Amino acid sequence: MSEPLPPDEIARNLDEVRRRIERAATDVGREAGEVTLVAVSKTFGAEAVEAALAAGQRVFGENRVQEAQAKFPALRARHRELELHLIGPLQSNKTADAVALFDVIQSVDREKLARALAREMERQGRRPRCFVQVNTGEEPQKAGVAPADTADFVRLCRDELGLPLAGLMCIPPLDDAPAPHFGLLRQLAADCGLDGLSMGMSGDYEAAVQLGATHVRVGSAIFGRRDRP
């Protein structure tokens, strides 16, 4: 677990991130309300999440199914309005747990997983919204479908399997300027007729908002330094 910041500092950080989102949106003629702030609480304990909830934050992101399972059921019992997003890789054998726990799954990136999700949603009667993760930098070690395969994969997920597809998600390469990746993701989403764009993290969420992000995933700028990425 990472060392949590004091609650008042988390509240101040949230205010600052919200202000910056609003400014970035206004600069390009968007409404701040078009952007959902996903507070990424991975590696932080429930007390950090409680501090964010007390400061009005409702949407959270986690990158590991097991960690989220340990943390969120109790939080959810106290905060019915909480919305939880899976933003990390999902193994097919964790599909049932993910469908049961998350409201949004942002990391759909291969056919086997898409089929497992469709089966599991049918079985559980729960339909978390999905994003297709796109490997915009075509990095071999990174998850996500290649840009050139995105349209076909979206057709499979949405039209053939009937997954509730909300949009596309990307994590640009660390060493690249992010804007071209955000622009590419926006173009791919438009080509597929998808509205949702999950892009932008602590270092680049303002640029992402200016390029059309509907969801920004912000961790360290809210909760502080983590002891793992």
Ligand X SMILES: *Cc1c(COP(=O)(O)O)cnc(C)c1O
**Could you say whether residue 69 binds ligand X (CB under 6 A)?**
no
**Residue (36 or 161) nearer to ligand X, CB:** 36
Contact set for ligand X, span 156-195 (CB under 6 A): 171
Please name every residue paired with 60 in a beta bridge, in sequence order, or none if there are none.
Answer: 39, 84
**Count of chain residues binding ligand X (CB under 6 A):** 14
Residue 167's alpha-carbon distances to 34, 79, 132, 139, in angstroms, are 14, 26, 6, 21
**Residue (40 or 161) nearer to ligand X, CB:** 40
- The phi and psi torsions of 48 (rounded to 5 degrees) equal -70, -40
**Residue (202 or 210) nearer to ligand X, CB:** 202
**Residue (7 or 89) nearer to ligand X, CB:** 89
CB of 112 to ligand X, least distance (A): 20
Tell me the DSSP string of 170-227.
E---TTS-SHHHHHHHHHHHHHHT--EEE---TTTHHHHHHTT-SEEEE-HHHH---S
**Residue (161 or 221) nearer to ligand X, CB:** 221
CB of 173 to ligand X, least distance (A): 13
What is the rounded distance in angstroms from the CA atom of residue 188 to the CA atom of residue 194? 9
CB of 203 to ligand X, least distance (A): 6
**Could you say whether residue 137 binds ligand X (CB under 6 A)?**
no
**Strand 215-218, strand 36-40: pairing:** parallel
**Residue (42 or 186) nearer to ligand X, CB:** 42
**Which residue's CB atom is positioned nearest to ligand X?**
219
Burial class (CB in 10 A: 0-12, 13-18, 19+), 47: exposed
CB 205 within 8 A of CB 188: no
CB 226 within 8 A of CB 43: yes
Over the window 8 to 47, marking each residue x when it contacts ligand X by CB under 6 A and - when it does not, the resulting string is --------------------------------x-x-----
Judged by the rule CB under 6 A, the positions of this chain that interact with ligand X are: 40, 42, 63, 87-88, 171, 201-203, 217-221
